[in-house]
Structure 1
Amino acid sequence: MLKNLDPLLNADVLYALRAMGHGDEVVVCDANFPADAVARDTTLGRLLRIDGTDSARAVRAILSVLPLDTFVETPAMRMEVVGDPQALPAVQREAQMEVDAAEGRAVPFGPIERHAFYARARGAYCVIATGEQRGYGCFVFKKGVILAPDVPTEVLAGGAPKERS
């Protein structure tokens, strides 16, 4: 055991999350997702697992160490429900609460059509499969940055630092 780390974060998952750079994406998927086949096309090239838990709990563990990108409009995305793209099933509402709690603010999921989600997942850094049995427990998260405390706030907002006198 390690202090201050969620016990769901196994060595393989921690390695991948640490190895990712700013703008890289991680896919968290349910047990129905074609995770192994998709993961073979990712940067990491193999499937990672957080078994025995649902999507929301896995999202909480991952976001306990992964900063979301503040330079993009939608750093968190969800797979749309086929035939009802506006629907938010319980599994997605639960994950949304975890995202908002981790960020300390509302960070609404951006929707991605199912087949577009598969294509995007293939371009991700890695795929992490969960034990989630409900459909549509599939998400993409874009990694952000952690800056030193003395970085001007303008840099965080994407602007140029101001001259200091």
Structure 2
Amino acid sequence: MLIGLDPLLSGDLLRHLRLMGHGDALCIADSNFPGRSTAERAGGAFVEVAADAEAVGRAILSVLPLDSFVAYPVVRMEPIGRPDEMTAAHAAFARMVEDVAGPGWAMGGLERYAFYEAALRCRLVVATLARGAYANFILTKGVVGPDGAVVRAVP
């Protein structure tokens, strides 16, 4: 155990988060998502964390800045045929993002197969135990400024 670090942040996960640069993305995947094969096809890393997507997101966002230079630093997998629907997992994740990263972070959506394609561009896939429908998210890493604060783009 380390002081000040969420216990879900293993050394392996922290290493991969640290290796990511501005604009790199990671996928937080539910238990039905083809996480390992996606990471293998993408040439990226694969890490398993024994918690749900919201808890894993909370741990990751405690150390990872979101990207304020993109329209949607958080992207969710849309339910098939219902692109505007926010599932319970989506709503919980959105609340967690606001709680941890602060207000003003937009969450976009991608159709299932478009999400799979976007996940192939991720540097890291984090497999969770989430069993809720469509509990898959992509986070884009932002910038930490010289003062240690997350850099926010000016609109």
Tell me the TM-score normalised to structure 1 length.
0.87
Secondary structure class of the residue paired with 2:41: coil
Q: Which runs of 5+ in 2 are unaligned?
A: none
- CA offsets 1:37-77 (integer angstroms, 9 cap, x no match): 10102342x421111x1111111001000000111111110
**1:116 corresponding residue in structure 2:** 114
Distance 1:100 1:150, change over 3 A: closer
Q: 2:102 and 2:43 mapped to 1: Cα distance?
A: 30
The percentage of counterpart residues that share the same residue type is: 39
**TM-fit CA distance, 1:106:** 3.2
The question of whether the paired residues in 2 share the 8 Å contact of 1:42 and 1:127 is answered with no
Secondary structure class of the residue paired with 1:47: strand
**1:129 corresponding residue in structure 2:** 127
Distance 1:150 1:112, change over 3 A: closer
Does residue 50 of structure 1 match 2:71?
Answer: no
Q: 1:88 and 1:25 mapped to 2: Cα distance?
A: 22
The structure 1 segments of at least 4 consecutive aligned residues displaced by more than 6 Å after TM superposition are none
**1:66 corresponding residue in structure 2:** 64
Q: Which runs of 5+ in 1 are unaligned?
A: 160-165
The question of whether the paired residues in 2 share the 8 Å contact of 1:69 and 1:143 is answered with yes
Letter in 2 for 1:12: D
RMSD after superposition: 1.9
Q: 1:64 and 1:10 mapped to 2: Cα distance?
A: 13
Tell me the TM-score normalised to structure 2 length.
0.93
Secondary structure class of the residue paired with 1:149: coil
Letter in 2 for 1:71: F
The question of whether the paired residues in 2 share the 8 Å contact of 1:80 and 1:136 is answered with yes
**2:5 corresponding residue in structure 1:** 5
Does residue 82 of structure 1 match 2:87?
Answer: no
Does residue 16 of structure 1 match 2:16?
Answer: yes
Letter in 1 for 2:46: L
